[in-house]
Amino acid sequence: MNASLLLCLVIGIADGDTLTARCGQPGAYEQIKVRLGAIDAPERQQPFSQQSRQKLSSLAFGKQVGLDCPRKDRYGRHVCTVMVPPAGAPDDRPVVDAGLVMVRSGMAWWYRGYAREQTPQARERYAAAEREAQTRRLGLWADPAPMPPWEWRKTNRAARASTADPS
């Protein structure tokens, strides 16, 4: 395990790519919002949103995770690689990349717009995981025309803007 990882307890799951963690020592906890780096999960109104949230919950909720957070996003969330304990061993060291598991299981897209923030090896793993999920039609890839969340948000912003009252 990377010695620079911050160890935290996951206390909430907002959706398939956002969680709340409690970090620090008893009496000096800091609660932080975490956006999983390199992935984008379905929005609440999209197909597979609930399944994506449930998958992240099964991976991380109530578990000690390792966070590597190189930056914050425009909403103030920490953008992190989230390492979780191996499946079936919730008390083990957090050594499994939760984002990669989300992509591999078809519960999130690899967010190529931020690929430059990943190492070449991580980009390769994420690309292969997404290809495998697509080939096996896992999760959101079972949909005949899955719409990536970034496109869905753009489409819905445009639709809201066109229906807004101009006065």
- For the segment 134-160, what is each residue's pLDDT rounded down to a tens digit? 999 999 999 999 999 999 999 888 777
**CATH code of residue 128:** 2.40.50.90
CA dihedral 57, 58, 60, 62 (to 10 degrees): 90
Active-site residue (options: 53, 77, 104, 125):
77
Residue 120 lies inside a defined structural domain of this protein: yes
pTM of the model: 0.90
Residue 1 lies inside a defined structural domain of this protein: no
Residue 163 lies inside a defined structural domain of this protein: no
Q: 78 lies in which domain range?
A: 6-156
Structure token pair of residue 23: 């970090």
What was the pLDDT predicted at 3? 47
- Clarify whether 35 is annotated catalytic: yes
Per-residue pLDDT of 23-40, as tens digits, reads 988 788 999 999 999 999
Number of domains in the chain: 1
- Clarify whether 43 is annotated catalytic: yes
Residue 88 lies inside a defined structural domain of this protein: yes
68 has which bridge partners? Answer: 81
Residue 30 lies inside a defined structural domain of this protein: yes
Residue 166 lies inside a defined structural domain of this protein: no
- Clarify whether 77 is annotated catalytic: yes
- Locate all alpha helices (DSSP H) within 70-144, ordered by sequence: 98-104, 120-136
